[in-house]
Amino acid sequence: MNKHKIWIIFMTISWGAISCTQQSIVKNSNVNLYRNTPLPAATIDELGSGKTVYETNCMICHKSDGTGGKVSIEGRNLNVDNLTSNKIKGFSDEKIIGYVMNGVEDEGMPAFKGKISEGEMRDLVKYIRTELQHAE
């Protein structure tokens, strides 16, 4: 047999042995072949987050059920908007976020810009829409 044929046979056998060994290792181990694949992002409980923001920042004036009404806060008597009213239901999400972000000084609504993140504001609106406005 000439050297060329022996070399081809040797390489074929070697390549086959290496291939079988690698497949065996992969099948019989917990090796993650996709270790460069990012893990899925953790899901955020938007309603839970919105509820926490509401209970911490809004409930004192708008009450636990969102109905608002007459309240006295820091010596000021306020007539707080009912978040479950058709008027507020008709507001766009962006309009509500604008009120939360910038406040309504004449009506006693404080601004929460810089105190609540934009994501938390969106969670808050989702909570209001889902839990307060549709709870009826």
Tens digit of each residue's pLDDT (9 = 90 or more) over 67-123? 999 999 889 899 999 999 999 999 999 999 999 999 998 888 999 999 999 999 999
Domain range for residue 123?
A: 46-132
- pTM value is 0.66
pLDDT surpassing 50 at residue 18 = yes
Q: Which pLDDT belongs to residue 31?
A: 53
* Pick from 76, 39, 71: nearest CA to 58: 71
Q: Which pLDDT belongs to residue 105?
A: 87
With respect to residue 11, please indicate whether it lies within any of the assigned structural domains: no
In this predicted model, what pLDDT tens digit does every residue of 31-57 receive, in sequence order?
A: 555 556 666 665 679 999 999 999 999
Query: Which residue do the tokens 């065996």 mark?
Result: 24
Number of domains in the chain: 1
Q: Which pLDDT belongs to residue 100?
A: 96
pLDDT band at 134 (very low <50, low <70, confident <90, very high): confident
CB atoms inside a 10 Å sphere around CB 132: 24
Cα 6 to the center of its chain, rounded Å? 63
Q: How far apart are CA 19 and CA 88, in angstroms?
A: 66
With respect to residue 26, please indicate whether it lies within any of the assigned structural domains: no
CATH of the domain at 74: 1.10.760.10
Q: Which pLDDT belongs to residue 11?
A: 66
Q: How far apart are CA 49 and CA 100, in angstroms?
A: 15
